Amino acid sequence: MSGLMQLLRADPRLPADAKGFPFDVPAIRSLEPIDFDAPVALFVGENGSGKSTLLEALAIETGLPTVGRQAAARDPTLEQQRRLARHLKLSWGTRTHRGFFLRAEDFFGFAHRLREQRAEHESELARIDREYADASDYARTLAAGPHRGSLAAMESRYGENPDARSHGESFLELFRARLVPGGLYLLDEPEAALSPQSQLAFVAMIKDAIDEGSQFVIATHSPVLMAIPGVRILSFDSSPPGWVGFEEVEHVTLLRDFLQNPARYLRHIWPE
């Protein structure tokens, strides 16, 4: 199955001022053309290896909307990633403007703003009930209309009161509400909001989206996501980054060994 974004090329002719972050990250400096020939590609590696940096540069170059934060092309925290994005050349199987870019930390901020907006509308409705106590039903309904409409729209898209749900439930609801067929989704560590059980539900949603022509590029530490059938895994622990199998991912090996014998690892850092 050919992807929407079939090929990412990084221009190796870096300008003279291409120094410092992100060009001094080994995996970024040695970056070679990457062929996205599967509906799900995962960027894996230790923190600081460059996987999130490349994903952010991709988000800038694709021009996808950013969930929960201002557009990646204008975000002041991504200035260095914009330097990298200028050296990425994208070739598309099918060009799409559908989809979005989402970072875990942006989700938590987005969920907080939704709660604030809901509280503001509810406060305004309470004020209208007090101030319009002696007014006609028509006047009270007219004043309350915009706030009730906003609350209804929020509940229709994101479900009822988000305070009654866990972060994982809210994340899945947000993700489900914004999925569209044929979209490209760039996600940075989405598992941060999800329990193992919720990660499995998330995988099911990814499968449904793929069946409708969508494509995913995900930076992750999650072995659950790495086990998705047909996924391609790009390891940033080598220079240049290279495709690896599930069993070759160091994080998978370490976690499996730890679960089989926790004491062997913990006795060095937590002696009895």
pLDDT in tens, 234-260: 999 999 999 999 999 998 999 999 999
Percent of the chain with pLDDT over 90: 44
Residue 128 is predicted with a pLDDT of 83
Q: What would the two tokens of residue 225 be?
A: 């996501």
Q: Which CATH class is domain 7-105+181-245?
A: alpha beta
pLDDT at 18 over 60: yes
User: What is the mean predicted confidence (pLDDT) over 77-90?
Assistant: 89
In terms of residues, how long is the chain? 272
Rg (CA), the chain: 22
| Strand intervals (E) in 18-154 | 34-35, 40-44, 88-91, 99-103
What pLDDT sits at residue 241? 94
Q: What is the dihedral of CA 74, 78, 82, 88, to 10 degrees?
A: -120
What angle in degrees, to the nearest 10, is found between the helix axes of 104-131 and 137-158? 170
Closest to 88 measured CA to CA, from 10, 18, 34, 31: 10
- pTM equals 0.78
* Residue 70 confidence (pLDDT) above 90: no
**Residue-level pLDDT at 230:** 94
Q: Would you place residue 124 in the very low, low, confident or very high pLDDT band (cuts 50, 70, 90)?
A: confident
Query: Which string of b and e fits 37-62 if b means at least 16 CB within 10 Å?
Result: ebbbbbbbbeeebbbbbbbbbbbbbb
Kind plus residue range of the DSSP H or E element containing 244: strand 242-244
Can you give the pLDDT at residue 107?
A: 63
Q: How many CB atoms lie within 10 A of CB 254?
A: 12
Predicted pLDDT at 164: 46
The tokens describing 141, both together, are 């309904």
Residue 108 has a pLDDT of 56
What is the band of 106 on the pLDDT scale with cuts at 50, 70, 90? confident
The pLDDT score that the predictor gives to residue 116 is 61
d(CA 24, CA 152): 49
Q: Which amino acid is at 203?
A: V
Average pLDDT over residues 123-132: 81
Contact 100, 72 (CB under 8 A): no
Q: Give the model's pLDDT for residue 13.
A: 67
Between the ranges 126-140, 147-161, 231-245, where is the mean pLDDT highest?
231-245
Q: How far apart are the first and last CA of the chain?
A: 53
Question: What local confidence, expressed as pLDDT, does residue 3 receive?
Answer: 62
Using left for φ > 0, alpha for ψ between -120 and 50, and beta otherwise, residue 98 falls in beta
Domain assignments of the chain as residue spans, ordered by start: 7-105+181-245, 107-164
**Whose CA is closest to 101, among 132, 69, 76, 78?**
69
- Higher per-residue pLDDT: 39 or 74: 39
Q: What residue has token string 């020939």?
A: 37
The count of other CB atoms within 10 Å of the CB of residue 196 is 11
Does the pLDDT at position 207 exceed 80? yes
pLDDT tops 90 at residue 162: no
pLDDT at 225: 97
What does the pLDDT average to over 202-214?
Answer: 95
Q: How many angstroms from the chain centroid is the CA of residue 142? A: 39
The angle at the Cα of 160, spanning 158 to 162, to the nearest 5 degrees, equals 75
Regarding predicted confidence, which is higher, 3 or 77? 77
More confident residue, 44 or 169: 44
Mean pLDDT over each residue of the chain, to the nearest integer: 84
- 241 closest CA partner among 61, 50, 109: 50
Closest CA to 62 of 216, 186, 190: 186
Residue 269 token pair: 């850092």
Q: What is the pLDDT of residue 237?
A: 94
CA atoms within 13 A on the CB side of 224: 16
